[in-house]
A and B are shown apart, each in its own frame.
Chain A
Amino acid sequence: MHTTSQVPKLSLGPLLYYWSRDDVFKFYESIAETAIDIVYLGETVCSKRRLLRLDSWLEIAKLLQDAGKEVVLSTLTLLEANSELSALRKICNNELFTVEANDMTAVQLMAGKKKFVTGPAVNIYNSRTLEVLVRSGLKRWVLPVELSKETLTTMHQEKPLGVETEVFVFGRLPLAYSARCFTARSHNLPKDDCQFRCLDDPDGLMLKTREDESFLVLNGIQTQSAKTQNLIKEIDDFKDLKIDVLRISPQSKGTEQVVDIFDQCLRGKINNEEAEQQLQQYTMSGECDGYWNNQAGMDAIRLEQTV
């Protein structure tokens, strides 16, 4: 057993999809009952998604805080319009919660003023970058999803004191962002008149190859993997590497159960194999773990061993 290693905390990443206000509230009410330690809240994909404004997110934040969760406010990844910059400023200036930057804009707005977290879309690929951002106030960073165990291991050997590391361990991978809305495009609608069709797709819109293979998922201006990245088999690595936080990405079904399975596995109540088997029913369109194992992201390297 890993007596000298620490048990990572569990986080819930920002909700990447567009759900009805009711569904969002219900979702987080039920998340409040889980073993999750940290919850990231807010819109990170599209500024047109306004069913929940900042005050609604703060309401949810309060609810989760009362349930003993640490809350972090997440921010937009691709900033284009001035109105988006204003909204970002408001979040970065809030005095109640830590903020996750998903773009260098948010980093700049908080640098030297308050401690911040960076999400997976902020490119921290080496120790020197990490050092610069720690000097600016970075307190926790999410490993960019295309980086491997090998890279993280070296970066951890040189890691500045005090900064925490978080790894995206479960969910469809965020892969790209565009000015174009691919959901609107699929409905032959321009982005300016998108009719919020992404509300129809609680886990995004499937893109298949011409031989019917599930390949990518369109989520508005974001493109995701169709497969679910699942790093449950790497839990011992995470403990050995002293990873501070493991991130689970919200999905419309089974998020609470996924949190529970990871929690039980971390606390040694079930082993990796059992956990992996239990997770199968919550992974959409297959599983992958390639990035962590220094291969193509869509590959299943360690996962295959149990199949």
Chain B
Amino acid sequence: MELVCPAGNLPSLKAAVDNGANAVYMGFKDDTNARHFAGLNFDDKRAQEGIQYARDRGVKVFVAINTYPQPSGWARWQKSVDQSADLGVDALILADVGVMDYASQRWPDLRLHLSVQGSATNAEAINFYHQHFGIKRVVLPRVLSLKQVKQVAESSPVPIEVFGFGSLCVMVEGRCILSSYVTGRSPNTYGACSPANAVSWEETPDGLETRLNNILIDRHAEGEPAGYPTLCKGRFNVSGNTYYAIEEPTSLNTLELLPELQSVGVSAIKIEGRQRSPAYVAQVTKVWRDAIDSCEKNPELYQTKIQWMETLDKVSEGSQTTLGAYHRPWQ
């Protein structure tokens, strides 16, 4: 299984490469990728440096161009595809049908992966992208149970990549527009969910309030940890009860499923977190490298180590992790 790690900037890319990633993925400094955050991502010069660094050490580089261009932005997406081809990256991670059509016609030799934002959850959807654009890999949305991942792996025309660790989207990726409903900007249109410019924090007599474009996402009592107000991870009131009505602040962690993911035919494990620090990337990459090596050596004897889990818990959202949709009761 290939370990695919996040590179939000050059130090993170190096951290991933140095700690055992088989591939890193990056984006450019604009809305053409789904981590369009201030201070993050690569310009052409940094991308060249990063690609050189990775290549010298036998690590592949993928570029994510995985948002959905509208006519006014089309030229930017086209340019990102061309730029990636010129840089000689190993693969593009794309979501939009139009961008795929362009990339596959203009750069027929460039390897294409279907992004998680492409929202393909079964072999027929994958067939569409395979037949039309010759994709070589698909990243599955985080909505499938382990049994369903197996079914897709068995019937998919191309190898599959799944998320192993990181912030968890509760909604099927590529088709969640909660963020633009509240702020005007969504992962699809802008490359960010619950964007920072819409966030406000305020100390009030009732506690620390976090708001997104003025909508109260959560209120934290003194001493209660207050996370970033991602709108699906706030506390709301339903039928008189106030609770995490959609999802708790938590991260996905599938370390304990590794032998099963391997046996159902998963080809690559993706680590989320281009917005996180190089230290996060280093720690998480190292744990997963160890785990994958141990699993591939002897899947029957594989056991998650306490130190691995402790390291991952520490860098998790809300310091807790879940198996997410892989584990049926979560659903």
Which residues of chain A have a CB within 8 Å of any CB of chain B?
A: 77-82, 85, 103-105, 107-109, 111, 121, 123-133, 144-147, 150-151, 154-155, 158, 173, 175-182, 185-186, 190-192, 205-213, 215-216, 218, 223, 225, 290-291, 294-299
A39 to B189, CA, bound (A): 30
Q: Does B172 contact A (CB under 8 A)?
A: yes
Against A, the Cβ 8 Å flags (1 = close, 0 = not) of B82-123 are: 000000000000011111011000000000000000111110
- Is B311 interfacial (CB 8 A cutoff)? no
State the Cβ distance, A305 to closest chain B Cβ, in Å.
Answer: 19
The residues of B that contact A123 with a CB separation of less than 8 Å are 68, 95-97, 119, 174-175, 188
Whether A185 contacts B245 by the Cβ 8 Å rule is: yes
In contact, A296 and B184 (Cβ under 8 angstroms): yes
Provide the bound-state CA to CA distance between A26 and B121, in Å: 35
Given A123-B188, A129-B98: A179 in contact with B144 (beta carbons within 8 A)? yes
A80 near B145 with CB under 8 A, answer: yes
Query: For the complex, what is the distance from the CA of A240 to the CA of B167, rounded to whole Å?
Result: 44
Q: How many angstroms between the C-alpha atoms of A111 and B124 in the bound complex?
A: 11
Q: Determine whether B328 belongs to the interface, using a CB cutoff of 8 Å to chain A.
A: yes
The reply to whether the CB of B238 lies closer than 8 angstroms to some CB of chain A is yes
Asked, given contacts A125-B69, A223-B171, A223-B246, whether A297 binds B97 with beta carbons under 8 Å apart, the answer is no
Say whether A298 contacts B181, CB under 8 Å: yes
Check if A207 sits within 8 Å of B236, measured CB to CB.
yes
- Say whether, besides A80-B121, A108-B124, A128 and B171 are in contact (CB < 8 Å): no
Knowing that A79-B121, A129-B97, A297-B180 touch, tell me 5 more A-B residue pairs with CB under 8 angstroms.
A80-B148, A131-B101, A180-B170, A192-B329, A205-B238
Query: Is residue B1 within 8 Å, beta carbon to beta carbon, of the partner chain?
Result: no
A176 in contact with B242 (CB, 8 Å): no
A222–B330 Cα gap in the complex (Å)? Answer: 16
Q: Does B216 contact A (CB under 8 A)?
A: yes
**B residues touching A (Cβ–Cβ < 8 Å)?**
68-72, 74, 95-99, 101-102, 118-122, 124-125, 127-129, 131-132, 142-145, 148, 151, 170-172, 174-178, 180-184, 186, 188-189, 213, 215-219, 232, 235-239, 241-242, 245-247, 325, 328-331
Closest chain B CB from A127 CB (angstroms): 6
Chain A residue nearest to B235 in the complex (CB)? A210
A241 to chain B, nearest CB (A): 14
Residues on B with C-beta less than 8 A from A176 are: 171-172, 175-178, 232
Chain A residue nearest in CB terms to B74: A126
Which single member of B122, B142, B148, B246 contacts A105 (CB below 8 Å)? Answer: B122
B184 x A295 contact (CB < 8 A): yes
Q: Are A125 and B143 also in contact (CB < 8 A) when A192-B328, A223-B246 are? A: no
Query: Which residues of the partner chain B approach A145 to less than 8 Å between Cβ atoms?
Result: 177
Q: How far is the CA of A207 from the CA of B238 in the complex (A)?
A: 5
Given A123-B175, A177-B171: A191 in contact with B331 (beta carbons within 8 A): yes
Q: Which of B69, B148, B175, B245 is most buried by chain A, counting CB atoms within 10 A of its CB?
A: B175
A103 to B174 Cα, complex, angstroms: 11
Contact call A108/B325, Cβ cutoff below 8 A: no
* B124 adjacent to A186 (CB under 8 Å): no
CA distance A296 to B131 in the complex (A): 36
In the complex the two chains form, is B98's CB within 8 Å of A296's CB?
no
Sampled A-B contacts (30; CB under 8 Å): A78-B143, A79-B125, A80-B145, A80-B148, A104-B129, A107-B128, A121-B175, A123-B174, A125-B98, A125-B189, A127-B71, A129-B96, A132-B132, A146-B180, A146-B188, A151-B72, A175-B176, A176-B175, A179-B330, A180-B331, A182-B245, A186-B245, A191-B331, A207-B238, A208-B238, A210-B242, A211-B216, A215-B236, A218-B245, A223-B178
B71 touches A111 (CB 8 A): no
Complex alpha-carbon distance, A78 and B184, angstroms: 24
Closest CB of chain B to A296's CB: distance in Å?
A: 4
Residue of B nearest to A123 (CB): B68
Cα–Cα distance between A70 and B279 once the two chains are bound (Å): 59
Minimum CB–CB distance for B231 against chain A, Å: 9
Q: Do the beta carbons of A296 and B213 come within 8 Å of each other?
A: yes
Whether the Cβ atoms of B180 and A291 lie closer than 8 Å is yes
Interchain nearest-CB distance for A46 vs B (Å)? 12
The interface centre, meaning the residue of A111, A192, A223 with most chain B CB atoms within 10 A of its CB, is: A223
What's the Cα separation between A85 and B155 when bound, in Å? 12
Contacts of A207 in B (CB 8 A): 236-238, 245
- B181 close to A177 (CB less than 8 A): no
Q: Tell me which residues across on chain A come within 8 A of B131, comparing CB atoms.
A: 108
Give complex CA distance A215, B328 in Å: 28
Cβ of B247: which chain A residues have Cβ within 8 Å of it?
Answer: 180
Q: Which residues of A contact B246 (CB under 8 A)?
A: 178, 182, 223
Q: Across the interface, which residues of B come within 8 angstroms of A85, CB to CB?
A: 122, 124
Chain A residue numbers with a CB within 8 Å of B176 are 175-177
Q: Please, which residues of chain B bring their CB within 8 A of the CB of A186? A: 238-239, 241, 245
Q: What is the minimal beta-carbon distance from A70 to any residue of chain B, in angstroms? A: 26
Q: Which A residue's beta carbon lies closest to that of B242?
A: A210
Q: Taking CB as reference atom, which chain B residue is nearest A297?
A: B181
Asked whether A151 and B97 contact (CB < 8 A) given A105-B125, A186-B238, the answer is no
Inter-chain CA distance A296–B119, complex, in Å, is 23
Are A209 and B236 closer than 8 Å at their CB atoms?
yes
Task: Report the Cα distance A158→B122, complex, angstroms.
Answer: 32
Q: How far is the CA of A132 from the CA of B132 in the complex (A)?
A: 9
On whether the beta carbons of A213 and B215 are closer than 8 Å, the reply is: yes
In the bound complex, how far is the Cα of B186 from the Cα of A146, in angstroms?
9
